[in-house]
A = this chain, B = another copy of it.
C-alpha cells in the first residue's frame, strides 16, 4: 500500500518509519528538497498547492494523509475528490479555525474557555468587556507553538494587541486558571472503532512543548476520553487526533485539537503497545487498530534549536530520535524518551536526562 503524505517533516518521517514493517511505501509532497522524511520514500518537490503534484499524489497514493494542519484546504479538497484522504477535510477545516473548533466543542457539550469572534477593534473592546481580563487574543488560523497570540492583562493592552494581530480574523479567549496542561491522543479507524492513549501531562517553554509525561490511570482519563470520543464521532474522523486540555480543579477544559499525530504522543513509540504513528497508519489504511495501553511510564523531552549530545542522551538510558534537520532557533530537531516501570523510577531517569 502506498501512503501519500502532505508534508515531509519529522512527523511524516516517524509515520514512515512505523509503516515500513507493514510494507507500506511513502510518497511525500513538500516544498523543501532536504525535507527530513524524504529519504524514506519518494519526494514530490513543490508547493502544497501545486496542481500537477497534487494530481500525482492522488493518482499514485492509495490513501493520503497530512502531517500538519496548515496545508491549504483547497489542496485537501482537491485530493478528497480523487482519492481517500484521512482525516477528512471537515476535520481539517475545524481544526484550522479556532472559532469553528471551539464552537463545535461547545455544541458537543465539551467545556472550553469562553470566547468571542473578533474582526475589528470595536469587537475586541466589546469582547473584553464580556470576557474580562486577562484574556488571550489569537489569530483564528495558522497559529502554532505560541505564534499568533497576545495576552491582554490590562485595558492598555487592547490596542497594542490589535495593532499586533489585527487585519486577519481573530478570536478572544477568556483566561483559564489551570493547574496543569494535558493532552489525549485518540485514534479512530475507518470502521468507527476508537482507542485512546493514556493522558500526557505537558510542559511548555516559550510556547513550545518541552516535556510530555504519560499518565497511566489518571483520574481524568475518562473525562478526556469522553471529550475525544464525541469529537471523533462528530467529525467522522479517521486517524490519530490530539486534543489539548487544561485542568482546572477536576474539570478538563478543551483548548485545541490537532488533526494529526502530535508531539505530545511521541512517548508512545517506546511507552505504548502501539505507537501513535503506527496506529495512524493502521486507521487510515483500514487495518485493525493496535493496543494503546501504556507499557509502564514514559516521558518525552523535546530538543529545540540545537541537537543534544547523542552519547550523553543514550548513556542516561534514554532513547533518542533525531529528525535529520539542520538546527536553527525554535526548530524541533530531536526528542528523547525515557521509560520506567513506575513513576518514581521514571522521575529518576528523567532527572538524569535533564541534568546533561
Contact = CB atoms under 8 A, between A and B. Distances in A.
Given A273-B339, A288-B315, A310 B21 contact: no
B290 A314 contact: yes
A319 B289 CA distance: 11
Best-surrounded residue of A22, A296, A320, A321 (most CB of chain B within 10 A): A22
Contacts of A319: 21, 274, 290
A349 to B, nearest CB: 11
Contacts of A143: none
Contacts of A339: 273
A40 interface: yes
A273 B271 CA distance: 10
Contact of A17 (B21, B273, B287): B21
Contact of A287 (B295, B310, B317): B310
Contact of A21 (B274, B282, B288, B321): B321
A20 interface: yes
A292 to B, nearest CB: 12
A251 interface: no
A222 interface: no
Given A40-B40, A314-B282, A339-B273, A23 B324 contact: yes
Given A311-B287, A314-B288, A322 B40 contact: no
A260 interface: no
Interface of A: 13, 17, 20-23, 25, 39-41, 273-274, 282, 287-288, 290-291, 295-296, 310-311, 314-315, 317, 319-324, 339
12 contacts: A17-B21, A21-B320, A21-B322, A22-B322, A23-B322, A25-B39, A39-B40, A40-B40, A287-B310, A290-B314, A291-B317, A295-B295
